[in-house]
Amino acid sequence: MSALYPLKFKTIYKDKIWGGNKIKTYLGKDFSPLPNCGETWEISGVKTDVSVVDSGAFEGESLAGLLEKYKEELVGKKVYDRFGNIFPLLVKFIDANDWLSIQVHPNDELAKQRHNSFGKTEMWYIIESDPGSTLIAGFNQPLDEKIYLDKLNSGHLMDILNKETANAGDVFFLPAGRVHTIGKGLLLAEIQQTSDITYRIYDFDRVDDKGNKRELHTEEALAAIDYKQYPDYKTKYEARENADVNAVMCPYFTTNVMAFTHDTAKDYSTLDSFVIHVCVEGAYTIIHENENYNVKMGECILLPKAINQIQIQTTNGFKILESYIA
């Protein structure tokens, strides 16, 4: 029998120039003494911000330390063979009280070459949105580097960007290379590769409290950008109650939306991977080996590979983003 159990971690709070208060008012997470909070990192293997276990026998231990000790028992053999002692996913909540910078992330090849890092493919699940809130994903016309630079340098970058209305329940998949940003009034969950590499293209000429503009990465971004136009930028999935609905499937993660109004059970015995639950609505209790683990909206829990079966109980229902590496 494994010593591993369902793991919750201490939230890492990030003060951002564009952050707001929904992390506290909507998700119920106290980020004081920060004046506002743009991001929380819920499960992280990023070297500068490694998650620490919040409760149970491993309280105070780091995710990196557990991975080094338990290896495939924690993440699965296939995952461990591929990623070694680096936990491969980063889970965040993001509250945009203003537009984030327009940005792009490099793919694995470019990130390895430049930063000895993974690339950054990610997805967003919109938890809550102010009326009329929008975001940017990709381009609204076919481009090449020259046209892009002409628009950027002439101050007309916004003319070529694809703007999407974003409502609660919407999913956006953002492969590395896709220019994007989150608009004002959006609260979302983000699941991504373990990487903190962002090339900032445009920051709306903002200054911080000391009057300084944030650094731009115009040259670095050129080789990272995917200049193609795509027919659909919003992910199509059929939201259904009391079912596991696949929303995203890519080499880096698979994410299903689980919306249940009653108790259920999960059998992960055929899956050679850890599983992450991100609770975006309601609350539930995981029962494993006669122990109860309570999870509510705004919380995440990591189920090690060694856990094959769980019972899930709920009083008023829940919605979970269930993620793993297929």
Domain ranges of the chain: 12-222, 243-324
> How far is 63 from 70, CA to CA, in rounded Å?
10
Chain segment 37-84, per-residue pLDDT in tens? 999 999 999 999 999 999 999 999 999 999 999 999 999 999 999 999
Instruction: Please check whether the two domains, 12-222 and 243-324, share a CATH topology.
Output: yes
Question: Residue 78: what pLDDT?
Answer: 98
Would you state the pLDDT for residue 57?
A: 97
pLDDT of residue 304: 98
Q: Please tell me the distance from the alpha carbon of residue 237 to that of residue 231, in angstroms, as a whole number.
A: 16
Q: Is the domain covering 243-324 a CATH 2.40.50.100 domain?
A: no
**pLDDT for residue 210:** 85
Query: Are the beta carbons of 206 and 214 closer than 8 angstroms?
Result: yes
Note the pLDDT of residue 208.
80
| Tokens encoding 80 | 């461990």
Spans of the chain, pLDDT less than 70: none
Task: State pTM to two decimals.
Answer: 0.96
* CATH superfamily name and code, 12-222: Jelly Rolls (2.60.120.10)
Rounded CA-CA distance 17/3 in Å is 42
Q: How far is CA 99 from the centre of its chain?
A: 18
Q: What is the pLDDT of residue 207?
A: 85
